Amino acid sequence: MLPLIALFIAAFAFGTTEFVIAGVLPQVADGLGVSIPTAGYLVSGYAGGIAIGGPLLTLATKTISRKALLLGLAAAFAIGQAACALAPDFASMLLLRIAVAVAHGAYFGVAMVVAVGLVRQDQRGMAVALILSGLTVSNVIGVPAGTAIGNIWGWRATFWVMCALGVVSIAAMAALLPRRTGSSRRPVSFGSEVRVLARQQVWTSLILMLMLMIGQFGLFTYITPTLLEVTGLGEGLVPWVLLLNGVGATIGVFLGGRLADWKLMPSLITMLFMQAVTLAVIYAASPYPVPMVVAITIWGGLGFAIGTPIQTRILTWTADASNLASSLIPAGFNVGIALAASLGAAMLNAGYGYRSLPVVGAMAMLVAVAVALASHIWEWRRNTMPPLPAAAE
């Protein structure tokens, strides 16, 4: 358990630095002498670094000891945060954020593989859940704390605190991770890494990931104006609703881990359908504050509960050549987030209004139900078994 806690600390650090920028964006824009929309590229640039640079770095470092690589990525994080705190202008800040994002993308891919390798087969879901919870807890605790620090002492102080957190994660992993964590006797060829992506359990899981992101971020990207204009909440109440959503997500990620270890595909199919129903409820309840807040909390919990078994399934079915596939998990999520936000913008620009967003999400979830059900039936009829993990040193 202690090695997983060490991996969680670094996941929390990476998650906080990705999302906290939104909380201090006006101060960063002012401090670097750019407009707020221009400063917004610090968000999209980070997502692009994860999606593109993460898989490339993972493949380039596949022969390095996993513990050494994780320590190196955490060191890159800590150095990157210090450099961001000292950034003299916007261009350097953007480049530094992208560099940290590349380390972020590689970290989560490697950490997931290491985490499932540290536990028994029937504990893989909870291992994935613990790493993934670093992102949810960062939203509940890290982002508000980082924003408060920025408001009191300035945005550069936020990055100095992130640097300190990076140092803590380095110390924790150095002390708690086994020396031969995730090492492999033989390097896996690039061809083998690509071929495992052709397994239907893998590419169907990536489709499920995309549908999940449309169901989540098509609405979440515009959740604040939806709550203000459709539900009629006051501005002061919106952060509390987002906090409840984050708490629901944190509970959901561990629930999803339990279900993934119990009956992965039946649980996944059921939760996808429940999420479709929840999004339909959000559409119906959106003008009514109390039902809307309850639905938003459940929606956040289900979203992360679904994400855990999807990732567990990908890692299980690529255990013999996991480098590329594992790095595609954070990359896929970020591509899905960008696509979902763009689809939501297109719906709004077409004049459909904020209430249309959960409807699109519900449709995406029904597509996911159909894909998951077909994949499960195919797997059951052929009685296929997951591959054995690559041999460890």
- Structure confidence by residue, pLDDT tens digits, 221-262: 788 889 999 999 987 888 888 889 889 988 999 999 999 888
Q: How many CA atoms lie within 13 A of 223 on its CB side?
A: 24
- Does residue 182 have a pLDDT over 70? no
Find the range with the poorest average confidence among 26-30, 172-176, 302-306, 337-341: 337-341
Query: Which DSSP string do the residues of 19-88 spell out, in sequence order?
Result: HHHHHTHHHHHHHHT--HHHHTHHHHHHHHIIIIIHHHHHHHTTTS-HHHHHHHHHHHHHHHHHHHHH--
246 token code pair: 């984050």
Residue 26 pLDDT grade (very low, low, confident, very high; cuts 50, 70, 90): confident
- Does residue 391 have a pLDDT over 60? no
Residue 69: what pLDDT?
A: 94
Q: 139-159: per-residue pLDDT in tens?
A: 888 888 898 899 899 999 999
Q: 33-81: per-residue pLDDT in tens?
A: 998 888 888 888 898 899 889 889 988 888 888 899 999 999 999 999 9
- Does residue 184 have a pLDDT over 80? no
44 token code pair: 């999209």
Quickly tell me which residue has 């002061």 as its tokens. 236
Residue 223: what pLDDT?
A: 85
Can you tell me the distance from the alpha carbon of 149 to that of 60, in angstroms, rounded to the nearest whole number?
Answer: 37
- Does residue 9 have a pLDDT over 90? yes
pTM: 0.81
- Does residue 179 have a pLDDT over 50? yes
Residue 181: what pLDDT?
A: 66
Residue 325: what pLDDT?
A: 82
Alpha helices by DSSP H, 221-355: 223-225, 238-262, 264-285, 289-317, 323-349
Can you tell me the distance from the alpha carbon of 82 to that of 86, in angstroms, rounded to the nearest whole number?
Answer: 6
| % of the chain at pLDDT higher than 90 | 49
Averaged pLDDT of the chain: 89
Interval 278-307 mean pLDDT: 95
CA distances from 48 to 153, 224, 248, 284 (A): 29, 24, 27, 35
Q: 108-139: per-residue pLDDT in tens?
A: 989 988 998 888 888 888 998 899 889 888 88
- Does residue 86 have a pLDDT over 60? yes
Sequence-ordered list of residues with C-beta below 8 angstroms from that of 222, at least 6 positions apart, any chain: 344, 348, 354, 357
- Does residue 392 have a pLDDT over 50? no
Type of residue found at 95: L
Residue 204: what pLDDT?
A: 94
Residue 393 pLDDT grade (very low, low, confident, very high; cuts 50, 70, 90): very low
